Amino acid sequence: DVKVTQSSRYLVKRTGEKVFLECVQDMDHENMFWYRQDPGLGLRLIYFSYDVKMKEKGDIPEGYSVSREKKERFSLILESASTNQTSMYLCASSFGGARGTDTQYFGPGTRLTVL
Amino acid sequence: QKEVEQDPGPLSVPEGAIVSLNCTYSNSAFQYFMWYRQYSRKGPELLMYTYSSGNKEDGRFTAQVDKSSKYISLFIRDSQPSDSATYLCAMSRGGSYIPTFGRGTSLIVHP
């Protein structure tokens, strides 16, 4: 079974704090993704990575950065948290490459509240 | 027009009913079609995956793809209260890394 884990289920931070969200997958997937999910807006892609040290901007990268130093780990960083970044953050991974069926496997999510 | 359209609901049905959840899409290049189930405050979990047109059955769930109409469906037979969740459709062209997701339909199955 594919397993994607996220470092926290719930997180409360203050405006201006630097926030780290970590994601780890155990299936040797090449691709990893960060989404945020808000009521009525669905899933919105923030960043994705198709290889170690590689990253690509998604639809809403502003205010976020990412890091992928190891294949299994993909971190999302909020440099200076703001209240409009209060959301559910979801990490996903997929095989990629020649085996790529694009099927994504999601982590349990981190509910971030910025006060 | 969004690439993938999905009615947000909520869809409320009695236990035991047959449920039909649907998505329409505009990109004829989509070849891979997925359905995810997402319980409240949890991450989406992959439910069904199909390639191209046709039907696929897994227990009480049937996924149907009609590429000529650009329409996909998920049928749930003998629905249970435990099926209450948000169902997201997703589709992709293959060879690309990022599926396009619908916004999800909220399903409520009441006893």
- Beta strand pairing call for B105-110 and B54-58: unpaired
Phi and psi (nearest 5°) for B92?
-150, 165
Residues of B contacting chain A (CB within 8 angstroms): 8, 32, 34, 36, 41-46, 49, 51, 88, 90, 92, 94-99, 101-104
According to DSSP, residue B82 is labeled G
Q: Do B43 and A108 touch (CB under 8 A)?
A: yes
Identity of the residue in A41, A45, A105 whose CB atom sits nearest the CB atom of B98: A45
A30 and A96 Cβ atoms separated by less than 8 Å: yes
Tell me the count of A-B CB pairs closer than 8 A.
Answer: 57
SS3 assignment, position A20? strand
pLDDT of residue A2 exceeding 70: no
Q: Which of B36, B41, B97 sits opposite A102 (nearest CB)?
A: B97
Chain B CB contacts of A105 below 8 Å: 46
List of residues 6+ apart from B65 with CB closer than 8 A: B33, B50, B52, B53, B54, B55, B71, B72
Beta bridge partners of A6: A23
- Cβ–Cβ under 8 Å, residues B85 and B74: no
Which residues of chain A are within 8 Å of residue B99 when distances are taken between CB atoms? 102-104
Percentage of chain A exceeding pLDDT 70: 93
Cis peptide bond prior to B10, omega within 30° of 0: yes
| Three-class DSSP category at B83 | helix
pLDDT at B98: 84
Provide the token pair at B87: 């169902």
| Residues in chain B closer than 8 A to A23 (CB atoms) | none
Give the tens place of pLDDT for each residue, A49-96: 998 989 999 999 999 999 999 999 999 999 999 999 999 999 999 887
Number of Cβ within a 10 Å radius of residue A7: 14
Buried-exposed string A96-110: b where 16+ CB fall within 10 A, e elsewhere: beeebbbbbbbbbbb
Q: What are the beta bridge partners of residue B12?
A: B108
Q: Does A12 touch chain B (CB under 8 A)?
A: no
Q: What is the pLDDT of residues B23-77, one digit of tens each?
A: 999 999 898 899 999 999 899 999 998 888 889 999 999 999 999 999 999 999 9
A104 Cα to chain B: minimum distance (Å): 8
